[in-house]
Structure 1
Amino acid sequence: MHTATTSSSQRAPRVAALTVFVGYLLYLSERTIVVSKGNISSLALIGTTFANRKQLPAYLYQHRGNGYDGQFFLRLALDPFDLGMHAFGITLNGAFRDQRIVYPFLAWVVALGHDHWVPYTLVIVNLAAVTVIAAMGAKLARDTEHPAMVGILLGGYFGYTMSTGRDLAEPTAAALLLIGMYLFEQDHAVLAGLVFALSALALETELIVPIALGLIWIIALIRRRRSVMNPLVFIIPGLGAIALQLLLREVLGRVALSGDLRGNLGIPIYSVFVGIIHHLNTLDVTNLIWLGQLVIIVLFVVLAGANLTNRHVPLYLKVAWILMLALTISLSGEVWNNSSYFRATDILWLTSVLIWSRSEPNRWWPAYLGYLATLVSVTPLLVFF
């Protein structure tokens, strides 16, 4: 019986990765062929507000209006070494865009320097990322009853359907974060620190986990308890983040992080209620999907909160969850008033699911609700941009 369980646990990362890979491959193929009418560059949603058609490369499709965040990642992927605000006909809408460099850099590397390949490699990198999320999620849930289900639940998060379908950085950042968490749990502190640094240079919110590790180490120090944790696991990502901010300060003449904080942080809890009221005002399909997604996230947050004292859940995961929950309820109306599939709260999702799964649940129906939420959420993205 033990052998069968072990074999199942070993197969789980492959099963989860293959399931998520095939699902996203079908989704992204349909979105490219049908929604984008064969022009994969339209997924980045380059708008007329931040892009000049006369200066844009001819192979890039341009939409009317503001466009979406993917246009800025595409701009950086065309040349990640050019950190200026204007290039390739696209203007960055803030210096904070440059601090999210890892995803576009990886797309540039995969493109082998061929500019016209970048719209494809942005999609390829994210497809690889959600596959890694599923595999690493199953590895981190190795001692649970159904690790493959956990991997699929993490990789299949509805927020990532928005991110992969619009060339955004959340999947890449999350994949690196989970790899770092796995390395940390396997006692590879320096490697984990390096990967955490990369995840933070993909999206700054990924610093939540290194910060949690740092807090645990500091509290142990204050209490004069010997910590077995290598401090490099949080020092390396911290130094990496500071180094990038100093570089951008030198290049751009401004602090990149400041604009990000002003735009995304608001009064704790207040913006949450304003957002809920905003979406309740008009109960159309978009708002109903948003409310459904919120219910699913709250469900897993409650499940995680109910298991914070469980001895099977690592302390760093609990602290990271608490920090991310505090950050989530402090996000501005920019996040809560818009239907962005809660992509900004993906770390809360990841940590909530992992805490719930590692607390040895005896009922798995919440996972099926998560799958259903993703299937419902993805439907509009198969039709509209």
Structure 2
Amino acid sequence: MQVPEIRLIRRLDCYDSWVHTATTTSSERAPRIAALIVFVGYLIYLGERSIVVAKGNISSLALIGTTFSNRRQLPSYLYQHHGNGYDGQFFLRLALDPFVLRLHAFGITLNGAFRDQRIVYPFLAWLISLGQHHWVPVTLVIVNLIAVTVIAYMGAKLAHNTAHPAMVGVLLGGYFGYTMSTGRDLAEPTAAAFLLVAMYLFEHDHLVFAGIAFAFAGLALETELIVPIALGLIWLLVLVRKRRSTMNPAVFLIPGLAALGFQGLLHVVLGKVAISGDLRGNLGIPVYSVLVGIVHHAHALSATNLIWFGQLVIIALFVVLAAMNLKSTEVPLYLKVAWGLMLILTLSLSGEVWNHSSYFRATDILWLTSVLIWSRSRPTHWWPAYLGYIATIVSVVPLLLFF
């Protein structure tokens, strides 16, 4: 016959075992839950935008403008808008054949050699289309739908030690900037998906594979190179202080060499330094362009400007929350350095970014790093996440009604 104390101890042991199992199961399910929520949300959003806004012609999402296209040379199944169009038209052009790097092809003219350096997103769309040109407008949407799902999944994986990893995954994948990107055939979601995969591989010591993923991220969008640059700076700092670093330099050398190699290829093919046009167009005087942008949007009261200010406030909130938690030992050093570098870059962006309502898609790395720093510092209050969700819902409304 068991004494009461022994029975009580065994019951407590069983309870602890059940709690541990339940917590582990919840942590394992969180990435799948986050991915499912984001996938369904974007599927509904992109479906409505393709059927209602684009009136069934999904190529309309790329916003091919008359300024950069010739109707007589443009494939008949592609819809042409009057005016300048938008950046998605250049990704669509490259997706029709990513091996044709010249500035003019298929009736569309690239507005700079820097467009060619962002090759991964159109290449994946071309790959899924199996080279069938008429499928490209569809595969561009599919690639981005997969990308935001991966962002949510990997975001939850990276936030595994937080109280609500699924909430973090949805917050990352549901960034309002990605609603603009997915709705207009842009590369930010694809680049960010590769970036988060690379960060996860790095944190689990798969450094060579992480370097390869960083390379894909950097060839999707050059801003993604911020993270491997941060890793390279840390490696140098450790080398200077200790004269020996345990980090495999492949994690930042692979993406660096890939970026330089592709720039060299573009120089041979086009006779131009592709990245130079990108730097001239997107960099300005630090802080000055931010202030000019604020004045510009405050000049007139409109729904677009109100949404812009709301988005700016939400981003600023998470930047402040990240700054307040930089001393947290739960946050890895590389994430802090990458956040700092991206903050400097964001404040240095030109009026081309700050004077237009592009849903801050160019600052998505600042968003990702800020949210991860905040969430991984084990916050006690989660109301900022709900504000992020509300900002996305409000931001989506105009995109459900207009191009």
| TM-score over 0.5 for the pair | yes
1:227 lines up with 2:238 in the alignment: no
Alignment of 1:135-154 (within 5 A): 135-154=153-172
In 2, the alpha carbon distance for the partners of 1:278 and 1:324 equals 23
What CA deviation, in whole Å up to 9, does each residue of 1:339-383 have, x standing for no partner?
A: 000000000000000000000000000000000000000000000
What CA deviation, in whole Å up to 9, does each residue of 1:165-216 have, x standing for no partner?
A: 0000000000000000000001000000000000000000000000000000
1:225 Cα deviation after fit: 4.8
1:125 lines up with 2:143 in the alignment: yes
In 2, the alpha carbon distance for the partners of 1:14 and 1:61 equals 36
1:294 lines up with 2:301 in the alignment: no
What CA deviation, in whole Å up to 9, does each residue of 1:250-277 have, x standing for no partner?
A: 0000100000000000000000000001
User: Equivalent residue for 1:305?
Assistant: 323
What is the aligned counterpart of 1:58 among 42, 62, 76?
Answer: 76
In 2, the alpha carbon distance for the partners of 1:318 and 1:227 equals 19
- State the Cα RMSD in Å: 0.5
Alignment of 1:33-112 (within 5 A): 33-112=51-130
In 2, the alpha carbon distance for the partners of 1:71 and 1:193 equals 30
Residue 207 of structure 2 aligns with an amino acid whose one-letter code is A
Aligned residues: 385
1:237 Cα deviation after fit: 0.2
1:334 lines up with 2:352 in the alignment: yes
1:230 Cα deviation after fit: 0.8
What is the aligned counterpart of 2:217 among 192, 195, 199?
Answer: 199
Q: List alignment gaps of at least 5 residues for structure 1.
A: none
What is the aligned counterpart of 1:261 among 264, 279, 291?
Answer: 279
Residue 219 of structure 1 aligns with an amino acid whose one-letter code is L
User: Equivalent residue for 1:280?
Assistant: 298
SS in 1 for 2:81: coil
1:299 Cα deviation after fit: 0.2
Residue 74 of structure 1 aligns with an amino acid whose one-letter code is L
SS in 1 for 2:169: helix
1:4 Cα deviation after fit: 1.6
How does the TM-score come out when normalised to structure 2?
Answer: 0.95
1:59 Cα deviation after fit: 0.1
Residue 296 of structure 1 aligns with an amino acid whose one-letter code is I
Q: Which has the larger radius of gyration?
A: 2
1:58 Cα deviation after fit: 0.2
1:16 lines up with 2:42 in the alignment: no
Alignment of 1:160-239 (within 5 A): 160-239=178-257
User: Equivalent residue for 1:362?
Assistant: 380
In 2, the alpha carbon distance for the partners of 1:286 and 1:2 equals 48
User: Equivalent residue for 1:246?
Assistant: 264
In 2, the alpha carbon distance for the partners of 1:117 and 1:92 equals 21
In 2, the alpha carbon distance for the partners of 1:360 and 1:227 equals 29
What CA deviation, in whole Å up to 9, does each residue of 1:291-328 have, x standing for no partner?
A: 00000000000000000010000000000000000000
In 1, the alpha carbon distance for the partners of 2:21 and 2:351 equals 51
In 1, the alpha carbon distance for the partners of 2:44 and 2:161 equals 31
User: Equivalent residue for 1:384?
Assistant: 402
In 1, the alpha carbon distance for the partners of 2:162 and 2:350 equals 36
1:22 Cα deviation after fit: 0.1
Residue 105 of structure 2 aligns with an amino acid whose one-letter code is A
1:6 Cα deviation after fit: 1.2
Residue 367 of structure 1 aligns with an amino acid whose one-letter code is A
SS in 1 for 2:182: helix
How does the TM-score come out when normalised to structure 1?
Answer: 1.00
Residue 132 of structure 1 aligns with an amino acid whose one-letter code is V
In 2, the alpha carbon distance for the partners of 1:295 and 1:3 equals 40
1:227 Cα deviation after fit: 2.2
In 1, the alpha carbon distance for the partners of 2:327 and 2:276 equals 36
Residue 376 of structure 1 aligns with an amino acid whose one-letter code is V
In 2, the alpha carbon distance for the partners of 1:307 and 1:232 equals 29
Q: List alignment gaps of at least 5 residues for structure 2.
A: 1-18
In 1, the alpha carbon distance for the partners of 2:133 and 2:229 equals 37
What is the aligned-residue identity percentage? 78
SS in 1 for 2:366: helix
SS in 1 for 2:68: coil
